[in-house]
Chains A and B, each alone.
Chain A
Amino acid sequence: MKRRSLFLISAMVFGFAFLYVPIISLIVYSFNKSKLVTVWAGFSTQWYGALLQNDQILQAAWISLRIATLNATVAMALGTIAGFVLARFKRFRGRTLFTGLVTAPLVMPEVITGLSLLLLFVALESIIGWPSGRGFATITIAHITFSLAYVAVIVQSRLADMDESIEEAALDLGARPLKIFFMITLPIIAPALVAGWLLAFTLSLDDLVIASFVSGPGSSTLPMVIFSKVRLGVSPEINALATILVALVAVGTIIAGVAMLRSQKVRERDVQMAAADN
């Protein structure tokens, strides 16, 4: 048997440690009895209980979830339209400009995006009186503006892979363009829409910078609350909260992975069956 080199093994250990030691220590300390984060005083789940009593955190989580859901849904719809235009309209006046405008938020520093949106909202309020003050609505709008770009890029690349003659075939068989979009194109690119929705949801859920610019009193999102709490010192409650979030993400990823693996296996079996039939 070939011996693995010591270098490779230590590189792997160091790499994984680099990625996961912080998270593991966070999880371990969330079960700490002591109020001091750095001193271990025995196992306890008391901070999880305290978390459920903390209205401020619960409320922020609820706001974050609502914003993320609304943002993901609207961004998916608008991003799909933008992606469709980018993929299907080969040549039109200002195509390059449009592409640039759609994808600019991907590379724009968040501080700039946040600041410019804040200035826009303030200006709008003084001109047309809407939005009156900043809060839930302005955070949602701000999130949509940048997550839309991600959805558009995902949808565009999926459409670019799709055989265009499938749409032509539907056209040839007597279906009108709008019907084709809903009956043929959308079902085929549905996985891209789901991916776009999930990405938009995640982006919104963990955005701190932009939300800080455009939020108002009483509309602090979860990342904002966590950040402001940590500035006053890390509390074990936050560790518990973070552990829950890590667990949710891990479970979600595992489910998605298993589902993908299974559908791929089914597909491979089908293809083999088809080949055997012939």
Chain B
Amino acid sequence: MASSTTFSTFEPWKDPAEKPYVCIDRVTKKFGDFVAVNDISLDIYRKELFCLLGASGCGKSTLLRMLAGFEEASSGRILIDGMDMAEIPPYERPVNMMFQSYALFPHMNVSQNVSFGLKQEKLTGQVIKTRVEEMLELVKLTQFAKRKPHQLSGGQRQRVALARSLIKRPKLLLLDEPLAALDKKLREHTQFELMNIQEQLGVTFIVVTHDQQEAMTLATRIGVMEEGYIAQVGTPTEIYEFPGSRFVADFIGSVNSFEGRITVDEPDHVIIRMLDQDVDIFVDHGVSASPNARVWAAIRPEKIHISRTDPGQARNVIRGKVKEIAYMGDFSIYLVELAGGRTVRVTQPNLRRGDPERITWDEQVFLHWLPSSIVVLTE
């Protein structure tokens, strides 16, 4: 599995010659007065593993159900492989879906569940048998073929649902919260299995999830949704390191954002004056914001350094007092109180066991960071 190398070069969305496989063109869905999906346009490419990420009720599942054909768009078009899906019922779409509840047929055993899709096509019994066996092998369920769904554990049911949705060899697989019902350990394991299978079969996956960890692990690209809109589309790194809005910065991981005003605005650097602190923030890249506009300097907790001694720099440093420490094992979270009373979240890896030098409660500390660590947000 050469995922790390292929993933780093797999960027069809940057290639102007590449045609999108799924094209969502200004799609809106209303339920009565409620706008569930608001004017979304999105291109998804072949073999991508695209994650729609958002809190519950943000419209991500509705979008997925429109792709499957269970909901009709109020306006806009959905094209799959260049074909308009408007008039095509779910049972004729080249798409399969894995449901959050798994939706296994309770009166059929595993192999009947898996073969259901093939039986709807005109295939001979022998072909169906071979393909079902292959598929059960892929998801490691061969020995459970004769069991009914209620005789299976959660993880096994999840694999039956996956096998059933893949048996017709769809070009596009829609997965609605595929891992939500599994416990944490199993979920991590299954994430990698899912990626393996996706790569082996070369299927395009669109995954709906509310779990940002899951999206970060799985996705080639993430679409962050908020109240029916797409807030940002990008690779996990882009979304995390260069969030486009305060919502995205807040939603993915945790972030400290300092409100301020731009005092020096140069093409290659800017200086931001913090509103509630006597501190200047130096940012080593230009910012496209109107002068004197309200801006927020956002910085991730792990990019802040914490020390007892003054790092001896004029900018990008704040004094504070350690208020809370949460020991997480591999790292610790420090909540540091600043002069105005607000707290900053800092995480530090626990590199030494039982470090005698480690910073403890109520110590006066200096927080400092690199000029490149700041993301300047205007809204």
Contact = CB atoms under 8 A, between A and B. Distances in A.
Interface in B82-110: 89-92, 95-97, 99-101, 103-107
A119 B303 CA distance: 86
B103 A169 contact: yes
A171 B65 CA distance: 12
Contacts of B96: 172-173
A274 B156 contact: yes
Nearest to A276: B153
A270 interface: yes
Given A165-B101, A168-B70, A278-B155, A188 B107 contact: yes
Nearest to B153: A278
B234 interface: no
Given A165-B99, A166-B103, A166-B105, A173 B153 contact: no
Interface string A126-170: 000000000000000000000000000000000000010110111
B168 interface: yes
A171 B107 contact: no
Contacts of A166: 103-106
Contacts of B148: 270
Contacts, number: 80
B168 A168 contact: no
Interface stretch (B115-123, B187-195, B276-284): B115-123
**What is the interface of chain A mostly: helix, strand, loop, or mixed?**
helix
A172 B107 contact: no
Contacts of A171: 70, 89-91
B168 A188 contact: no
B368 interface: no
B263 to A, nearest CB: 56
Contacts of A173: 91, 96, 116-117, 120, 164-165, 168
Interface residues of B, number: 34
A277 interface: yes
Contacts of B91: 171-176
Contact of B101 (A163, A175, A271): A163
Interface in B140-188: 147-148, 150-156, 164-165, 168
Contacts of B318: none
A194 interface: no
A163 B156 contact: no
B103 A174 contact: no
Contact of A273 (B90, B92, B151): B151
B68 interface: yes
B155 A175 contact: no
Contacts of B154: 278
Contacts of A265: none
Interface in A232-278: 267, 270-271, 273-275, 277-278
A218 interface: no
Contacts of B68: 168, 172
A124 to B, nearest CB: 42
B70 A270 contact: no
A54 B265 CA distance: 110
Given A171-B90, A176-B91, A274-B150, 9 more contacts: A170-B105, A173-B96, A173-B165, A174-B117, A174-B120, A184-B105, A188-B107, A274-B152, A278-B153
Top 5 A-B residue pairs of the complex, sorted by shortest distance between their CB atoms: A174-B120, A278-B153, A173-B117, A169-B103, A165-B103
